[in-house]
Structure formats: C-alpha cells, structure tokens
C-alpha cells in the first residue's frame, strides 16, 4: 500500500504550465506568454470513505494550509497524528494554497492517498484525484518537477582579447556553474546557440548579469557556447548541469547511410531537449507549449519514447479550462490540432479514461470554434484570432482552404472521441460530411488538378501547404491525391516549403503516396544540409540559399531563429512509420501491422515502440526479420499477410 501525492486532476499541469510560461526571457527582460493562462483551484476538498477491521492512524501532509475532518465530527491540523478505531470512516481534507499546488499525502498503516480519492474545487462536483508515479515520497512534493541532472564540461575553452569563449560541443539545456569567481568585478555571462551569438554582446538573446559571489549556479537555459567578456574568466571553473526528463529511447533506426543515420540521431536528440514538463517548441527563445508544434510531437513521441504521460500533460495544459473566449495560443488552427491530437493520443494509447476526462473540454472548445464560423460555415479571420498554418506566403484572404480541411478532420475526430467515451458522435460526423462537400465545391480546381488557398480573394493561388493538408486530413480522395502529387508536390515550379514544421507534413503525405525515395532525398538535402553546416540539433527553419549568420536571423532579430526546435524532429517518425513500416491499426495497438519499405536503402534496421510493447525490424540482402513482444501483429508483404507471434522472430526471404 503506497501513498502518492494527490491533487485536483488537471491542476498539476496548470501549475507547472504557468511556471513554464512565465520563464521566458529576451534581452534581460521577462517575457510571459501572451494568451490566457489556466490556473489551479486555490482551495480544494479531498474526500475518502474506507473500512478497516483494525485500529489505525493517519497523518496528512499537504502543500498549503487547511484541516482534516474525520467522520464529519473531529477537525485536526495538517501534519497531526490521527488515531481511529475499526469500522467505516470518512476523511475530508480541505486545503488552500494561494501560491502553489493544493495537494495532500497520507502516511497511514490503514489506507493511502491515490486516485481513488474524490476531489472537488469546493463544489458538489467531485471527480477522481490526479496522481503520478513520480510522487510517492512524502518529502518530494509535486510542486517540484522531477527533472534529472548530469554534469557536463566544455569541450574547448578559448581565451580571446575580449574574454573567454566556452564551447560545450553541442546544443544543451543546462544550469551553468561558475566557481572560483574570486575578487572579480561585476560581469555578464552571454549564451549562444552559435559562437556568433554568444560573442555578440549587443544582440545575444540570453545573458545573466552577475556580481558579488565566489560561485554561481544559474537558471537553466539553452546554449552551446558561453562567453564571459573578461580575461579574469580564464581562472574560473566553468561547467554545467544538463537538465532533462529521463525518458528512455525505445525507438531506433539505422540504414548504413551515415548522413541519414546522423539525421535520425540528431532529430532524436533535438526531441529529447524539447520534451520536458510538456512538449515545448524550442529550448532557447519561447520554451512555450504550442498546439500545432505539440501535434507533431505526439506523433514523434509514438516512435521514440511512446511516453503517454507527457502527451496527457501537454493536452491537458493546452485545453485549459472552460469557458473559452480565445483559441489555443490565440491561433485558430492550433485549436483544431488540439482536437486532432486528442484522437491521435487515444488511437496510440487506447486510454479511454483520459478521453472521458477531457471530453467535456473538447466539446466546449469545439463549440467555441463553431460559434465563430461565418454564414457559410467556414473559418475566417476574426479580430484576435490568428490564422497561421506556417511561416509562408499563403493566401489567407477570406476563407482559407487549409483551415476548413483541418476543421473537417477535427469534426471526424470529435465523432471518434465521443465513441471512445461511449457517447454518440453522429452530429460531428454529419457536420464533417457537409463541410467535405463544400470544400470540394469551393476550393478544388479540376483544370489545375489542385486546391486553391482561397477563392474569396480572387487570387486563386495554388501552393504546397493547402494541398499537403488536403491529403493529410483526408479531404482529397484517391483520384485527387494522384493529381496533387503530380501537379503540386512533385512540381519544382511550386515554391518550396522552408520550415521543418510543414516539411514534415509534406514528407508524411509523400510517403503515404509511396514516394519514399523522394522523401529520403529530401531528408538528405534539407535535414542533412543543416548537419553539414555543423548543426547539433535541428533548426526552426532552414533556407539553403542563406549564408553564414543569415541562418540565425528570424523575427526581426539577428539571432531570433531557434537552432533546436521540436518540429524539426520529424525524421524519427517518418523513418519508423514508413521505412520500418510499423503502425497501429486499432486503438492501443491491439492490432498492428509491419510493412517495411527500404526506400532505396541497402539495409534498414530499427525498433518502434507500441503501447505495451515494441517491434524490431531488420532487412538486408533479401532477408527480413521481424520480432515483437506483442500479440496482434501482422507482417504485410504486397497482398500477403503473415501473422506475427509474440516473442518469436519471423524470418522471410523477400526482395523489397
């Protein structure tokens, strides 16, 4: 019988989300997130009814102030030993915490605190409490997130005329430690993802001004390079403590192509750095949780860690609390990605309990989205609602086709989410069918074999983004998919996508259309292009025609571009999903298939995690080996299906 710290379910995420969204700094100034932030309920009531055949005792620990009421009669202080006799008992704990997370922990020989407790924000609406396996010790409260730390040291130290430059060898997120700063005047430490940024004291985004101490351990931030502009720094002992979430890589990939193997490894490392309390966008500039960025992270997570906890935390934070008066992150498409992400999580995990918990909020968010449609039933720009899609020249005048396609997919997913929770989702499906017909009527151009960005503006522009979304969301049928492939996606006359964010979606749909060799070459040229320039993590954007420090500029800032961005880690998903060919075919991967496609590689080998298991695939010289520790798998070879047996290796001679 092991107690856990318990809280109002969802408030753990809101507490740590609020802390995270307040941490951003730029040029020495605090920069909190600009959208509504959900917060915890400050006063919470916990309740448990239990039976014991013996005498017992309990001591309730808490974060906050309050009392313990036993059997609706006796009131005790938090931390006080309470003794009771055999029989039926009811314990009620009311806690108020105005600056933290109201939560409790029971030390008892009779019962424990866990999610079987009921909890209420001082209303009559009780739900089961929230808990986490990381918080089972009385002295480790959930107000501190359980990061791990590892000491790292610079790979090189270079003394310059104007100071000392430390190179830690690769991008990291760490607490910088400085020892032996004796008899030193006030000084400033500058951080940079590039040496140019760290040594450009006028334009570096991140720095700390220090004075009056022999040693320092600075708040964690992103850097590869550290510059201290004083020659006295040569006597300092400088190291750092890498701060990370100890997630285990289950996924792996090797193909013998050294560049692609490096692309996978650097993508995986990038994703590690951006997987923290939640899935964040990047580790230097924002460090915020964005609905669109997170949607891709759910997919990548499924092929690297398959950690359900971080996905649940991220979805819970993004959904926030009802009622809704703005879109997620103020971005219309990001609200739609949250709904789509919830269904992706359910299909990956089979976790219907979580879907039942968040479904009322999903319905409320959907209702808010629908309430802002125009008279034709289309999403259009509203004041304060950002139509994003990507950093690109997309026609967003009037009704943008991409937004309607995402809405179509969100409607279908709402229907499926309702079914997962045991509810009727037919109204969402009917709405999707109506919208589908309108999309085909208004945005498809038969003479051009493609969808236009918008018809309201009169520009009739055909671009990659909207046609990628058409395939990705299922708005394009098989016939239209083939036309889009020829007329847009494989047409060099159509301007290219320049962010890994939408580059990932483009490669996803290309692979789904069987264009694996095209995708492989794109990974070599685009992701590999960054590595050839010395990248140790994947960038927010890469434009091959840029030179030198031009690669670091964005958002009207000389070093505004993030050089470690989660949406750049897409190759982890692409290589596992299409080349190793592993995918779930029912919720929770109760059934799954393995359909390897070498895509021009001489060999492929690697592991893909699944809910409660994994698959290992190896192919070389006409010999295919597949192993899984799960029931329900099938190996697909052309029109043939071979059953995979749990804990057995299936070996097949076949030319793929």
Residue 97 pLDDT > 70: yes
Q: Nearest 5°: CA angle at 177, between 176 and 182?
A: 135
- The pLDDT tens digits for 263-295 are 999 999 999 999 999 999 999 999 999 999 999
- The pLDDT tens digits for 537-580 are 999 999 999 999 999 999 999 999 999 999 999 999 999 999 99
Residue 212 pLDDT > 80: no
User: What is the 8-class DSSP label of residue 472?
Assistant: H
Residue 190 pLDDT > 70: yes
Both tokens of 323, joined, read: 């009622």
Q: Which among 409, 362, 407 has a CA at the least distance from the CA of 380?
A: 407
Q: What is the side-by-side strand order in the sheet with 6-7? A: 6-7, 103-108, 56-63, 81-84
Q: Which among 428, 413, 396 has a CA at the least distance from the CA of 332?
A: 396
Q: How many helices (H) and strands (E) does the chain have?
A: 15, 31
Q: What is the structure's pLDDT at 182? A: 72
Q: What is the structure's pLDDT at 74? A: 81
Task: Give phi and psi for 423, each to the nearest 5.
Answer: -115, 165
Q: What is the side-by-side strand order in the sheet with 592-594? A: 582-584, 592-594, 633-637, 640-644
Both tokens of 173, joined, read: 């997120």
- The pLDDT tens digits for 57-81 are 999 999 999 999 999 888 999 999 9
Do β-strands 633-637 and 592-594 pair in parallel, antiparallel, or remain unpaired?
parallel
Q: What is the structure's pLDDT at 72? A: 87
Beta bridge partners of 163: 160
Residue range 614-630: mean pLDDT, rounded: 97
Q: What is the structure's pLDDT at 213? A: 76
- Percent pLDDT > 90 in the chain is 95
User: What is the 8-class DSSP label of residue 219?
Assistant: P
In angstroms, the CA 354 to CA 130 distance is: 11
Of 143-157, 203-217, 562-576, the poorest mean pLDDT is in: 203-217
Task: Give phi and psi for 150, each to the nearest 5.
Answer: -140, 130
For the chain, how far is it from start to end, CA to CA, in angstroms? 53
User: What is the 8-class DSSP label of residue 383?
Assistant: T
Burial class (CB in 10 A: 0-12, 13-18, 19+), 219: exposed
> Is residue 256 reached through a cis peptide bond, with omega within 30 degrees of 0 on the bond before it?
no
Cα radius of gyration (the chain): 27
Residue 360 CB neighbour total at 10 angstroms? 12
Residue range 498-518: mean pLDDT, rounded: 96
Q: What is the mean pLDDT of the chain?
A: 96
Q: What is the structure's pLDDT at 181? A: 78
Three-state DSSP class for 8? coil
| The residue count for the chain | 656
What confidence category does residue 183 fall into, taking pLDDT thresholds of 50, 70 and 90?
low
Give how far the C-alpha of residue 387 lies from the chain's centroid of Cα atoms, to the nearest Å: 21
Q: What is the structure's pLDDT at 398? A: 93
- Helix, strand, coil percent values for the chain (each to nearest 5): 35, 25, 40
- The residue with tokens 């390897």 is 596
- Are 196 and 247 in contact by the 8 Å Cβ rule? The answer is no
- The pLDDT tens digits for 327-349 are 999 999 999 999 999 999 999 99
Domains detected in the chain: 6-128 (2.60.120.260), 148-244 (2.60.120.260), 582-653 (2.60.420)
Give how far the C-alpha of residue 410 lies from the chain's centroid of Cα atoms, to the nearest Å: 18
Q: Print the SS3 string covering 581-636.
A: CEEECCHHHCCEEECCCCCCCCEEEEEEEECCEEEEEEEECCEEEEEECCCCEEEE
Q: Print the SS3 string covering 510-567.
A: HHHCCCHHHHHHHHHHHHHHHHHCCCCCCCCCCCCCCCHHHHHCECCECCCCCCCEHH
Query: Rounded to whole angstroms, what are the CA distances from 370 to 342, 375, 379, 428, 431?
Result: 18, 11, 8, 11, 10
Q: What is the structure's pLDDT at 574? A: 98
Both tokens of 346, joined, read: 């359910």
- Are 602 and 209 in contact by the 8 Å Cβ rule? The answer is no
């Amino acid at each position: 019988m092991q107690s856990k710290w318990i809280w109002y379910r969802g408030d753990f995420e809101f507490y740590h989300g609020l802390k995270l969204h307040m941490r951003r700094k730029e040029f020495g100034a605090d920069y909190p997130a600009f959208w509504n932030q959900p917060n915890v309920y400050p006063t919470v009531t916990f309740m448990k009814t239990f039976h014991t055949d013996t005498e017992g005792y309990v001591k309730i620990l808490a974060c906050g102030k309050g009392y313990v009421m036993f059997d609706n009669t006796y009131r005790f202080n938090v931390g006080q030993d309470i003794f009771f006799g055999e029989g039926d008992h009811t314990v009620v704990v009311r806690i108020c915490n105005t600056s933290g997370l109201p939560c409790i922990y029971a030390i008892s020989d009779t019962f424990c605190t866990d999610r079987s407790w009921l909890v209420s924000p001082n209303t009559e609406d009780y739900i089961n409490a929230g808990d986490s396996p990381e918080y089972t010790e009385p002295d480790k409260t959930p107000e501190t997130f359980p990061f791990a730390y590892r000491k790292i040291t610079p790979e090189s130290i270079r003394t310059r005329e104007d100071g000392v430059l430390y190179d830690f060898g690769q991008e990291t997120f760490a607490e910088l430690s400085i020892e032996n700063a004796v008899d030193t005047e006030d000084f400033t430490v500058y951080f940079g993802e590039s040496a140019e940024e760290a040594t450009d004291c006028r334009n570096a985004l991140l720095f700390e001004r220090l004075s009056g101490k022999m040693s320092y351990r600075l708040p964690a931030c992103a850097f590869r390079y550290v510059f201290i502009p004083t020659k006295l720094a040569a006597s300092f002992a400088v190291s750092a403590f890498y701060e990370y979430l100890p997630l285990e890589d289950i996924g792996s990939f090797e193909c013998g192509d050294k560049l692609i193997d490096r692309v996978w490894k650097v993508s995986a490392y990038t994703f590690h750095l951006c997987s923290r309390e939640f899935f964040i966008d990047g580790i230097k500039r924002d460090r915020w949780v964005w609905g669109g960025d997170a949607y891709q992270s759910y997919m990548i997570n499924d092929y690297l860690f398959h950690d359900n906890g971080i996905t649940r935390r991220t979805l819970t934070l993004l959904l926030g609390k009802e009622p809704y008066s703005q879109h997620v992150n103020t971005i219309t498409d990001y609200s739609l990605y949250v709904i789509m992400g919830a269904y992706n999580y359910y299909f990956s995990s089979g976790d219907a309990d979580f879907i039942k918990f968040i479904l009322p909020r999903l319905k409320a968010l959907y209702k808010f989205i629908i309430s802002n449609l125009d008279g034709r039933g289309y999403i259009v720009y509203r004041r304060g609602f950002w139509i994003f899609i990507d950093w690109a020249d997309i026609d967003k005048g009037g009704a943008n086709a991409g937004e309607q396609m995402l809405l179509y997919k969100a409607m279908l997913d709402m229907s499926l989410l309702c079914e997962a929770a045991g509810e009727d989702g037919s109204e969402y499906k009917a709405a999707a069918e109506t919208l589908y017909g309108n999309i085909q009527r208004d945005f498809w151009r038969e003479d051009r074999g493609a969808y236009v960005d918008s018809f309201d503006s009169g520009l009739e522009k055909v671009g990659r983004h909207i046609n990628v979304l058409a395939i990705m969301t299922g708005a394009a049928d098989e016939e239209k998919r083939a036309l889009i492939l020829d007329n847009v996606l494989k047409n060099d006359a159509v301007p290219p996508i320049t962010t890994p964010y939408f580059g990932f979606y483009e490669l996803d749909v290309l692979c789904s259309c069987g264009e694996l060799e095209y995708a492989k070459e794109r990974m070599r040229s685009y992701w590999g292009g960054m590595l050839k320039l010395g990248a140790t993590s994947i960038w927010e954007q890469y434009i091959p025609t840029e030179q030198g420090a031009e690669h670091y500029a964005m958002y009207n800032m000389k070093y505004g571009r993030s050089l470690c961005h989660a949406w750049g880690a897409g190759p982890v998903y692409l290589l596992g999903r299409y080349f190793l060919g592993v995918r779930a075919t029912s919720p929770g991967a109760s059934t799954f298939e393995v359909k390897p496609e070498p895509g021009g590689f001489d060999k492929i080998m690697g592991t893909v995690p699944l809910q409660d298991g994994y698959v290992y695939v190896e192919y070389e010289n006409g010999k295919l080996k597949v192993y899984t520790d799960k029931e329900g798998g099938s190996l697909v070879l052309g029109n043939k299906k071979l059953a995979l047996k749990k804990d057995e290796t299936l070996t097949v001679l076949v030319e793929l």
